[in-house]
């Protein structure tokens, strides 16, 4: 390809819309163009990158025995209603584009395809003899993001590889799950990335267990924790750890104390001269279920710990059936405006006790009349603890469960693991932190979808059993930008050779110099014939502009037909290191063949 014939334009200024470096560079280097909020055109250079990533994905997926297919982007609402996820995706998370056709039928643009693939399996797989089956696709997906940002990182339209497997048993699923773990590691390694596999929350996809693959980068939206021994890593949403040891209480008897202006744990512990490890903090939440029932939740947790709202959300989803619901639409800490809609009197915020009276809640059909009380495990064994008194400006000290306060019957693990916590697998290991960009996620779904949708097969004993399922996703377009976020310098992108749009760019400093043009044309033909993907910068531009553009677009190797031609040589520049050397024209092809092996 000749750059003079390509749709190609670079920008010197950073576009105002771009917040992170990778987004800035993809725009400036002419890889993408914004069409609308969260919607981008993949221009010729990025299209080549996406093709290469997709080919790596295909090779590794096919090597495991998975087969490629293509599923419809438009999906009927009935499938999602059958699985029970229509409300979650259109209202709770609200990420699915939904529409009505001219016959007034509800449809959706698929953010994922569990329902579609389960329907296909239900219709086509009849016997255990046909199992296991593993299908995957690479396709455009859609998410109605509230605030699209960071370019391809969080867009409303994106390219994804999603795969789905069907099995007769959890053991059979586990084998495919492990195969996918290795395949994903192969994919990201072949893409030239530094990544970390971490335990993860399954979210709206569901299932018994899942694992994310994170590209390590400071601009990552996810916090991950890990131990130096390499034996534990998890998204902070899922992470578990050992909290610091409890410091014994300084109080030995129950007493109510005036604690003015101590509405935070820090202020209160300083005022009373006690440790946050012996405080019971009571945090108020407001949940709305898809039955439109509002439930007020009081979480009692150790004072030095914070609530992990993802874990809390999962606990509340488990209780959905208690409120004639299937899922949770929202979970918030109610502000004053929200409180005014259900509270009968002002709440003693900052001074709430575990036994906050139910009469704070106004009677209503849509509002549960009693607080749902949960206690985190960190608070269960505390003795002579400090907590609120339900009166502003006062706390109680020396309190105990079973005496002054009734221990809630629902004991849960909803604490947020913190950097510096001891690891559960080895108390000598402490949690470290890093930021990551999620580029892959694998799930053990179990029978969540097959049971909901009546998808069964005839087992060897003649009985009908639900499929045991797994699903496996990779964000192909997100992976391209994540690579840029990890692989760049002050001058531009540094593509790994395996996914670079071209291996080599040949720069003609002066297109009016016939010798420079002749040698460049000769090398351009020879390199492409040798299978070395080469682009020729034959534009009528100043040499400095061409060199800056070459650095910006990040092609791994640059050949310059410049001054060294007088000695029968050209300049070879390595983009990643900026190292340059003059090599003879005859050695160019063999030298680059050695360099681009991957």
Query: What pLDDT, in 10s, does the model give residues 426-477?
Result: 999 999 999 999 999 999 999 999 999 999 999 999 999 999 999 999 999 9
From 143, 80, 159, select the one nearest 117 (Cα to Cα): 80
| 559: three-class secondary structure by DSSP | strand
d(CA 281, CA 295): 20
pLDDT band, residue 206 (cuts 50/70/90): low
- Mean pLDDT score of the chain, rounded to an integer? 94
pLDDT band, residue 15 (cuts 50/70/90): confident
Q: What are phi and psi of 581, to 5 degrees?
A: -150, 150
The tokens describing 171, both together, are 């053991």
pLDDT band, residue 208 (cuts 50/70/90): low
What pLDDT sits at residue 384? Answer: 97
d(CA 484, CA 22): 5
Q: What are phi and psi of 298, to 5 degrees?
A: -115, 115
What pLDDT sits at residue 115? Answer: 96
- Global confidence as pTM: 0.85
pLDDT higher than threshold 90 for residue 399: yes
pLDDT higher than threshold 90 for residue 1: no
What pLDDT sits at residue 598? Answer: 62
- Quick one: average pLDDT of 127-137? 97
- Quick one: average pLDDT of 21-41? 95
DSSP state of 29: T
- In the chain, the percentage of residues whose pLDDT exceeds 90 is 86
pLDDT band, residue 533 (cuts 50/70/90): very high
Q: At CB < 8 A and 24+ separation, what contacts does 265-270 make? A: 265/303, 265/304, 268/386, 268/395, 269/303, 269/386
What pLDDT sits at residue 205? Answer: 52
What pLDDT sits at residue 207? Answer: 56
The better pLDDT of the pair 246, 199 is held by 246
| Top mean-pLDDT range of 142-151, 226-235, 480-489, 561-570 | 480-489
Parallel, antiparallel, or unpaired for β 209-216 and 432-446?
antiparallel
pLDDT higher than threshold 80 for residue 209: no
Q: What is the pLDDT of residues 179-194, one digit of tens each?
A: 999 999 999 999 999 9
Q: Residues 109, 40: contact at Cβ < 8 Å?
A: no
Q: Residues 386, 274: contact at Cβ < 8 Å?
A: yes
DSSP state of 292: S
pLDDT band, residue 204 (cuts 50/70/90): low
What pLDDT sits at residue 16? Answer: 85
pLDDT higher than threshold 80 for residue 95: yes
pLDDT higher than threshold 70 for residue 66: yes
pLDDT band, residue 178 (cuts 50/70/90): very high
Q: Residues 480, 50: contact at Cβ < 8 Å?
A: yes
From 193, 104, 123, select the one nearest 475 (Cα to Cα): 193
pLDDT band, residue 80 (cuts 50/70/90): very high
d(CA 563, CA 545): 17
Say how far residue 557 (Cα) sits from the centre of its chain. Answer: 32
- The widest CA-to-CA distance across the chain, in whole angstroms, is 96
What pLDDT sits at residue 202? Answer: 58
d(CA 131, CA 190): 30
pLDDT band, residue 569 (cuts 50/70/90): very high
- Quick one: average pLDDT of 2-28? 91
């Amino acid at each position: 390809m000749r750059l003079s014939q390509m749709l190609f334009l670079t920008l010197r200024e950073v576009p105002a819309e771009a917040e992170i470096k990778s987004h800035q560079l993809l725009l400036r280097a002419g890889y993408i163009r914004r069409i609308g909020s969260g919607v981008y055109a993949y221009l010729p250079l990025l299209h080549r990158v996406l093709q290469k990533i997709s080919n790596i994905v295909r090779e590794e997926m096919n090597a495991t025995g998975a087969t490629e297919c293509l599923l419809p982007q438009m999906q009927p609402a009935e499938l999602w209603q059958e699985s029970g996820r229509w409300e979650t995706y259109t209202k709770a998370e609200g990420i699915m584009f939904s529409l009505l056709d001219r016959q007034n039928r509800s449809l959706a643009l698929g953010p994922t395809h569990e329902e579609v693939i389960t329907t296909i399996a239900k219709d086509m797989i009849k016997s255990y003899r046909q199992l296991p089956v593993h299908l995957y696709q690479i396709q455009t997906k859609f998410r109605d993001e509230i605030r699209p940002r960071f370019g391809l990182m969080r867009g409303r339209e994106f390219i994804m590889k999603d795969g789905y497997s069907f099995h007769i048993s959890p053991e059979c699923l586990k084998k495919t799950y492990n195969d996918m773990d290795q395949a994903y590691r192969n994919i990201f390694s072949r893409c030239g990335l530094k990544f970390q596999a971490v335990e993860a929350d399954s979210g709206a996809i569901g299932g018994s267990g899942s694992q994310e693959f994170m590209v390590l980068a400071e601009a990552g939206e996810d916090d991950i924790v890990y131990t130096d021994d390499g034996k534990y890593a998890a998204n902070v949403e899922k992470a578990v750890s050992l909290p610091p040891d409890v410091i014994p209480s300084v109080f030995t008897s129950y007493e109510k104390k005036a604690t003015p202006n101590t509405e935070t744990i820090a202020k209160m512990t300083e005022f009373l001269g006690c440790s946050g490890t012996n405080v019971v903090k009571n945090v108020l939440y407001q949940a709305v279920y898809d039955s439109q029932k509002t439930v007020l939740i009081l979480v009692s947790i150790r004072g030095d710990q914070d609530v992990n709202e993802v874990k809390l959300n999962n606990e509340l989803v488990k209780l959905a059936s208690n409120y004639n619901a299937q899922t949770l639409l929202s979970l918030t800490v109610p502000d004053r405006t929200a409180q005014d809609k259900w509270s009968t009197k002002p709440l003693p915020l900052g001074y709430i006790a575990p036994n906050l009276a139910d009469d704070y809640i106004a009677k209503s059909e849509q509002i549960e009349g009693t607080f749902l009380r949960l206690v985190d495990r960190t608070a269960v064994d505390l003795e002579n603890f400090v907590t609120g008194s339900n009166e502003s400006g006062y706390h109680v000290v020396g309190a105990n469960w079973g005496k002054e306060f009734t221990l809630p019957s629902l004991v849960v693990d909803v604490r947020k693991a913190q950097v510096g916590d001891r690891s559960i697998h080895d108390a000598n290991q402490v949690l470290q932190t890093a930021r990551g960009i999620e580029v892959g996620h694998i799930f053990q779904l179990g029978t969540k979808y097959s049971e909901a949708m009546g998808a069964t097969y005839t087992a060897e004993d003649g009985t009908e059993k639900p499929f045991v399922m797994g699903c496996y996703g990779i964000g192909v377009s997100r992976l391209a930008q994540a690579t840029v976020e990890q692989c760049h310098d002050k001058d531009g992108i540094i593509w790994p050779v395996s996914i670079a749009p071209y291996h080599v760019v040949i720069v003609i400093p002066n297109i009016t110099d016939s010798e420079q043009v002749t040698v460049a044309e000769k090398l351009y033909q020879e390199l492409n014939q040798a299978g070395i993907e080469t682009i020729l910068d034959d534009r009528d531009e100043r040499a400095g502009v061409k060199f800056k553009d070459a650095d910006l677009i990040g092609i791994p190797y640059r050949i310059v037909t410049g001054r060294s031609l007088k000695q029968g040589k050209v300049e070879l520049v390595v983009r990643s290191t900026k190292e340059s050397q003059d090599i003879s024209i005859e050695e160019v092809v063999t030298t680059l063949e050695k360099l681009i092996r991957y």
